[in-house]
Structure formats: structure tokens, C-alpha cells
Amino acid sequence: MKDILMSKLIHRAGFLIIMLGLLSSTPAMCMQTADANDTGIKTLQEGIKLMHEDTYGRAITKFSSVISDDFIINDFALLWRAESYYRTGNIDKAMADIKEIKDDYGDTSAFRDALRLEIEISRRNIDDTSEILALYRNYLSLYPADLEIQYRYAKSLKSAGADDKAAEIFKNLYIKASDFSDESYKEFDPAILNSEDLFRRGNSLIRQMKFTNAETAFRRALDMAREDMKDEIYEKIAYCRFRRKDYPEAAELYKKLNDRYMEAVSYLRTSEMDKLIKTIDILKEMKDPRTGLLLISLANNERRKGNYNNAVSILNNELDKYPFREESLWQKGWTGYLEGNYKDAENIFNKLYNSYNSNKYLYWALRSREKMSQDVTGGYGKLCSENDYYGFLSCLKTGTGSKKIPVSTDNIKIDSPLLKRFGILKKLGLRKEAIFELKKMIKTLKKPAEVILYSKKLKEIGEFKKAISVATMLPYDEKIHTLLYPAAYWDIVEEASRKFRIDPVYILSIAREESRFDPEAHSIAGAVGLMQLMPETADRMCRKIKCNIPEEDSYLNIRTNIILGSYYLKTLLDQFKSVTLATAAYNAGENTVKKWLAQFNTREADEFIEDIPYSETRQYVKRVLTTFFQYSRSLNLPDAPGTFRWNVSLHLD
């Protein structure tokens, strides 16, 4: 492990890893050399190719021919020439190029990489340990979040005999639960860890959603903690148990801590109604305002069992004492609607709409009138113009669809050196460096046009999650629609669509709401990748379609994740015969949805969605269907195999 790690560090400190990454992206390079005016870029490409072939002398000649104060990426040309000089053993010239970068090109990714190269060259060629340590300190003063360099600095300190200083850094890396945590733990005496250190490590692991490991750290902290710290540690342990869905143990811990509200929530999750009611009575005596939320849940539980009178009684007699008027009134209206008291329900929904101006209440007032056989076409038609979930449902009701989003023809141009550098680095295939230039732009964004252009550039380079995030800085406008809803990884999505006969827009909608197209996404529950697949689900799907995943690949691989996630969607559609149910099952699990179907007294999809017990799943289904609707407005696609575009059934059977 040590040899592998140090090999990795050495390569990252030098720049062969950059060259290898670039040259492995042959299409991106070859496509760009056609521009005859970009002779400097073409020469750089030739120099990089020579470096890849270990022909450093000729590479130096190429880089030297373009180095000029006027060359817009002169810092990178100097950087690569320094790397080439270093590889030929010409240390003085390598260091001279690094010095020029340091003097003239601060705050660029080339500057940062030059400092790393300087450390690597010095470490291998200079005997003066103090000088090397000074280089580390200087680098970390500028980039303190670079945990890799922190680890290497600590290793150098230890080699120099500064054991105490090294141990402190290793300990902090362990506490932060970083990528270097396990290796750092081997480098210091664990006896120096105290309860506060282990408590901090537990919090670091919670932030990473590693609740099992976090609990281990907290229990170690508990063994050596002062008496006045123990309740705080037990509270963290209870939280870890709750997040791991060990609700019975969480309830016991919260009871010992006298946290009656979280004790009650834990009982609610396990449907231990007798214990829940007893705990609610205690909370009433304590006059805890959060009791109202628990009473609403209790009323919902009674309603789902068919005890409508009990549900209404709870809502009428208890909730006026607590600050949840809107939610309690909604639940009264919803209970009436499901019981068939449509006139009373309509009155409540209208009252809510007049008070809170939410399309949710207007939609259900219209649905109540529809149930009474009244004409609501005009109401749905008006609501169809709204750009939200209830507008989408209203469009389905009228069968008219919604206005298509025209393709934006705006060609925003901003004369910015950062944008020019971004363009060149993108042409060279240096994605990480190009993104670095874009991120510097965000500090200067002032006008909407600049925000739009920045988001477009992020989208161009495949940073979809960041592009969407930036676009949301602006109020919704049709000009930014395709930035909010990009056709990300379309070639793979289309492949999965053809392979499994599933609408590509549905695949896009799931991926957008699961991860915002982040290939590295991880969830609390352990789901991974663009489609947020649980590893066991991915394994099951992989066996079914007899997929062959190379050893170096994983479920985080973009194509693998989309293919397996799409196949899973297909199996859910085949099983439930409903987009609504398939979407709910993708989030909450197949067995959970089957249980809900057995319990619910609803026969239409909009009613089912509104009554989903899990708030997370309820909002998720609404978001996915709304996103599907939004994509359908902007993607002018022919009907896909197995399409349900503008035919999303409102019926469950």
C-alpha cells in the first residue's frame, strides 16, 4: 500500500499524469488541430505528444517556440517545458521556468502545479531538508485544503526527526477522515488521541454520511470522555442509529437522553403506536410546539386505517394549540377529499389558496369540483400555464400539452481572458484546468448574460451539476431552460433507450433528480453514480442482462451506471405498469410501494402521489414528473420506443 501511494503522489507532483490524461483523449486533441490559425496550440499539442513519447529534447524545442509574454497560456507552456527540462536532468532550467511562473502567473492551475513540481524536484535533488520543508509550508499557506501535500509534508517532517509536528498533522488527517486517514493512522501513536479528537472524527464521518464508522468513533470517545461530555456523545450515537434506520435502538437512546420528540419520531418510524401516543402525551405536558407535527402524523395514520372520524377529531381538537395552521388545515381538507366530502374539501382548499396562494391548493379545489361533476376545463387551462408540478398535471388533464420552448439563438459574447484561456485548455483536452479558469469567473459575475454564458461553458465541458446550479442563480426564463434541463450524456441515454425500449426523457429525468448528473454522487444509504444505484441492485441488474464490467471499471462508470439504472427502470415499469408507481419504487423500494398500494384507498396517480407517507419520496416523484414535463417541452424528439411522452397515465390500474 505504501509503495502504491507514494507512486501516486510522485506522479501527481510531476505532470506526466496530465500528459497521459491528455493523450488518452485522442479525439479531443485531433479534432482541434484543424484550426490553422491556432499554430501555438498545434505546437503545444506536438510538444505534449513528444513528452508522451519520452522525447523531451524535441518537446523542449516545441515549447520554447511558443513561449512569449503575449501567449495566452504561456504559463502552461512554461510548466510543460519545466517538466521536460526536469526529465532530461536540467534542473537549473526547470527551476528557472518554475520561478517565472511563480513571479508572473499567480492564481492559475499552472501556478499551483508549478509549486508541486518545485517540491518534487527539490525533494529528489536537494539535500537541505529545511529548504524542502519551507517549500511545503509555503504551498500549504496558499492551498491548506490539499490533504495530499499535508500528508507528504508530515512524512518529510518525520524523516527530518520532527516527530511531534508530524504526529500532529497525521492526527488531524485521521480526525478529518480524509483519503489519507488510514495511512496517517499508521504514522502516529494512537494513544495521543483524546475524547475530543475522536468526537471530531465522528462528526467528520457524519458529514461524509458514514454513520457506522462515526458511531465507532463516538463509542471510542465515550470510553475516555469526561462525565460532562457523555450526553453529547450519546446524542450523536442516537443520531447515527436513527440515520441507519435502527429506530428501536435510537428510541431507547433518545429516551435515556430525555429527548422525547426524537423518541416519538423513532416510534413513528417503527409504527409502535402505543409508545408513540404515550410519548405524545408527555410532550403535551411539556408544551413542546413540535407535538403538532406528531399529531398530524397520528391523524394521517388514523385516516389510512379508514378511521376518518378519529383523524378529523385529532385535527379539530388538538392542532389549534400548535403553530401548524396551514398543514393542519390541509390535512383536514385532504381527509375530507379522500372520504368523499368534496364540497367541504373544496371550501378548505379555496381557503388555503386565498391565504397562501399555492397552486397545490388550487389544483385540489379543481379536483374536488371535478369529482362533483362540475366543469373545470377553464381552471385547468389557466393552471396549465404555470411552470410547476400542478401546472404539469393540469396540462395532462386538458390534454393540450404545454408551450414548447424555442431553441435559444442568443449568442452571448464577452471579451474575457479567462474565457479565452478556457477555450484553449478545452481544445487541448485539459478539462480540470479549463474548469479551474471558469471557477475564477464566478467571482466576477454581475450581469445575467454573464451568468448564462458561464453556465453554458460549464455545460459544454460536461460539468452539468455546476451548470444547473449556476443557472438557478437567475429567475426562471426560457433562455435558460436548456441549462436547467440539459440533455446530459445523450449518446448513452439514447443507447439505453433503444436497448430497453424506454423513453430517453424518463431516463434523463431520473438521472437529473437523483444526482444532477454527478457521476461521483454518493447517498446516505450507499447509492452511487448518476442514477444513484444501490450496489446490490446494480449487481442484480448486471446478472440479469449478463453485463461484462471490466475489473478496472465500477458502478460509478457513467455508461455502466446509466445502462444498469435504465434496465432497473424498465423492470419497474414492467412490474407496476405505471410511471408513477415505477418512479416511487425507484426511490422507496418495490416492497414499500406494494405495501402502500395495499393500504391506500386511492385509484388515481395524483391522489396516490399526494398521499405517499414518505415526504422524501412524495417530493421526489413530483420532481421527476415535473422534470419529465420540462424536458418534453424542450427536446424535439420523435416518439421513442415504449414512449409515454404526454401520455403519463393518471390511473394506477
Both 618 and 473 in a single domain?
A: no
| Phi, psi values for residue 533, rounded to 5° | -85, 135
Helix locations, 372-473, DSSP H: 377-383, 389-398, 417-427, 431-441, 448-460, 464-471
pLDDT (tens digit per residue) in 107-142: 888 999 999 999 999 999 988 999 999 999 999 999
Both 159 and 138 in a single domain?
A: yes
**Which residues, in sequence order, are bridge partners of residue 528?**
522, 533
Look at residue 32 in the predicted model and tell me its pLDDT.
Answer: 39
Is 450 exposed, middle or buried, given 0-12, 13-18 or 19+ CB atoms closer than 10 A? middle
CA distances from 343 to 201, 307, 358 (A): 57, 20, 19
Total structural domains within the chain: 4
What's the sign of the alpha-carbon dihedral 440, 444, 450, 451? positive
| Phi, psi values for residue 522, rounded to 5° | -130, 140
Question: Is residue 113 in a domain?
Answer: yes
Nine-digit cell at 403? 408551450
Both 105 and 174 in a single domain?
A: yes
CB neighbour burial string for 168-178, b if at least 16 within 10 angstroms, e if fewer: ebbbbbbbbbb
- Whether residue 33 is predicted with pLDDT greater than 50 in this model: the reply is no
The dihedral over CA atoms of 265, 267, 269, 271, expressed in degrees to the nearest 10, equals: -140
Q: Which residues contact 272 (CB under 8 A, 6 or more apart)?
A: 251
Last residue within a domain, chosen from 154, 188, 222: 188
- Whether residue 61 is predicted with pLDDT greater than 80 in this model: the reply is yes
Give mean pLDDT, residues 210-238: 97
Question: Is residue 288 in a domain?
Answer: no
What is the residue type of 112?
A: R
Look at residue 447 in the predicted model and tell me its pLDDT.
Answer: 86
CATH code, domain carrying 506: 1.10.530.10
CA distances from 427 to 19, 417, 460 (A): 14, 15, 12
What's the sign of the alpha-carbon dihedral 55, 61, 65, 67? positive
Give 614-617 contacts, CB < 8 A, sequence gap 24+.
614/588, 616/587, 617/584, 617/587, 617/588
d(CA 157, CA 125): 17
DSSP 229: G
Both 447 and 567 in a single domain?
A: no
d(CA 4, CA 11): 11
Question: Is residue 22 in a domain?
Answer: yes
Both 449 and 515 in a single domain?
A: no
Look at residue 549 in the predicted model and tell me its pLDDT.
Answer: 73
d(CA 608, CA 600): 8
Range of the domain at 569: 490-634
CB 188 within 8 A of CB 181: no
Q: Which residues contact 30 (CB under 8 A, 6 or more apart)?
A: none
| Phi, psi values for residue 53, rounded to 5° | -90, 10
pLDDT (tens digit per residue) in 287-340: 999 999 999 999 999 998 889 999 999 988 776 788 888 999 999 999 999 999
Helices 308-317/291-304 angle, 10° precision: 160
DSSP 478: G
d(CA 333, CA 346): 7
Last residue within a domain, chosen from 455, 484, 513: 484
CB 150 within 8 A of CB 140: yes
**CA nearest 453: which of 419, 477, 504?**
419
d(CA 184, CA 152): 10
CA angle (472 as vertex; 470, 474 as ends), nearest 5 = 100
Give 306-309 contacts, CB < 8 A, sequence gap 24+.
306/601, 308/335, 308/338, 308/339
Helix locations, 461-589, DSSP H: 464-471, 481-484, 490-500, 504-515, 535-545, 558-576, 579-588
SS3 state at 533: strand
Helix locations, 126-246, DSSP H: 129-142, 147-159, 163-175, 181-185, 195-207, 211-224, 230-243
Both 370 and 423 in a single domain?
A: no
The dihedral over CA atoms of 273, 275, 279, 284, expressed in degrees to the nearest 10, equals: 40
H or E stretch covering 342: helix 342-356
DSSP 516: T
d(CA 158, CA 180): 16
Look at residue 27 in the predicted model and tell me its pLDDT.
Answer: 36
Question: Is residue 327 in a domain?
Answer: no
SS3 state at 476: coil
pLDDT band at 160 (very low <50, low <70, confident <90, very high): very high
d(CA 563, CA 511): 12
- Per the model's pLDDT, the better-predicted residue between 36 and 237 turns out to be 237
Q: Which residues contact 556 (CB under 8 A, 6 or more apart)?
A: 519, 520, 528, 529
Question: Is residue 203 in a domain?
Answer: no
- Whether residue 646 is predicted with pLDDT greater than 50 in this model: the reply is no
Look at residue 446 in the predicted model and tell me its pLDDT.
Answer: 79
Helix locations, 271-306, DSSP H: 273-286, 291-304
Count of all residues that appear for the chain in the document = 653
Question: Is residue 333 in a domain?
Answer: no
Both 389 and 465 in a single domain?
A: no
pLDDT (tens digit per residue) in 469-514: 999 999 999 889 999 999 999 999 999 999 999 999 999 999 999 9
**CA nearest 504: which of 384, 543, 469, 512?**
512
Nine-digit cell at 445? 459575475
Both 439 and 495 in a single domain?
A: no
SS3 labels along 145-168: CCHHHHHHHHHHHHHCCCHHHHHH
What is the residue type of 601?
A: N
CATH code, domain carrying 454: 1.25.40
pLDDT band at 419 (very low <50, low <70, confident <90, very high): confident
Both 79 and 181 in a single domain?
A: yes
Both 440 and 462 in a single domain?
A: yes
pLDDT band at 649 (very low <50, low <70, confident <90, very high): low
Question: Is residue 307 in a domain?
Answer: no
Both 473 and 497 in a single domain?
A: no
pLDDT (tens digit per residue) in 341-389: 999 999 999 999 999 999 999 999 999 999 999 999 999 999 999 999 9
pLDDT band at 407 (very low <50, low <70, confident <90, very high): low
Share of the chain above pLDDT 90, in %: 71
Last residue within a domain, chosen from 463, 484, 505: 484
DSSP 450: H
Question: Is residue 235 in a domain?
Answer: no
Give mean pLDDT, residues 636-645: 51
| Phi, psi values for residue 15, rounded to 5° | -130, 10
3-state helix, strand, coil in the chain (%, to 5): 70, 0, 30
SS3 state at 118: helix
Nine-digit cell at 121? 524536484
d(CA 322, CA 606): 29
Which of 6-20, 78-92, 257-271, 393-407 is the least confident region?
Answer: 6-20
Look at residue 522 in the predicted model and tell me its pLDDT.
Answer: 85
d(CA 10, CA 21): 16
CATH code, domain carrying 41: 1.25.40.10
**CA nearest 614: which of 599, 639, 593?**
593
Look at residue 317 in the predicted model and tell me its pLDDT.
Answer: 78
**CA nearest 165: which of 174, 176, 153?**
153
SS3 state at 362: helix
Report the mean per-residue pLDDT for the chain.
88
pLDDT band at 638 (very low <50, low <70, confident <90, very high): low
Both 72 and 88 in a single domain?
A: yes
Give mean pLDDT, residues 587-596: 94
Question: What pTM was estimated for this model as a whole?
Answer: 0.84
